[in-house]
Amino acid sequence: MTGVAEMLETLRESRRRVFERLHDVADEQMLVTANWRDRTVDVRFFFYRLVAHQVEHTVHLAKTLHGLGVAQSEAGLILSNLQAARGELEGMLGGLTDEDLDRIPAEGEWPARRVLEHIMEAEESYTRRIENALKESKTSD
């Protein structure tokens, strides 16, 4: 049986493989049809089912943890939201080209690469501030 850290890594790797395999699906390919159960559906249907299935079982997991009396701390809840935002951010990058990262959308606007660098810089800065505050509180005790 694997531990939590290993399960998280397995989940991340699974998600990485999904993006790697599906990020190049073009809009016109979303209309390709296939049989599913007793009907004909398009690729778009499977994409939406993929998302719906994830949401359904995320709720299922929350219910399971609640039933076990497992509750996240405030920091854990905030980090869960951070992870969800990071997932959304990573999802936006799935179909980009390297050139897209450096294109400037309008005069005075940052290209995507600069926005991403800023996000990572701010994440590191806030993390360091939290760690320093906690370290200083221990030395003043």
Tens-digit pLDDT profile for residues 46-95: 999 999 999 999 999 999 999 999 999 999 999 999 999 998 998 888 77
Query: Residue 29's domain spans which residues?
Result: 1-72
Question: Does residue 103 lie within any of the structural domains?
Answer: no
Closest by CA to 44, choosing from 24, 29, 59, is: 29
Instruction: Provide the whole-model pTM.
Output: 0.74
Question: Does residue 60 lie within any of the structural domains?
Answer: yes
Question: Does residue 34 lie within any of the structural domains?
Answer: yes
Q: What percent of the chain lies above the pLDDT cut of 70?
A: 99
What is the rounded average pLDDT for all residues in the chain? 93
Question: Does residue 5 lie within any of the structural domains?
Answer: yes
Distance CA 79, CA 82 (A): 5
* Domains in the chain, number: 1
Backbone φ and ψ of 40, nearest 5°: -100, 130
What pLDDT is recorded for position 90? 87
Whether the CB-CB separation of 112 and 96 falls below 8 Å is answered with yes
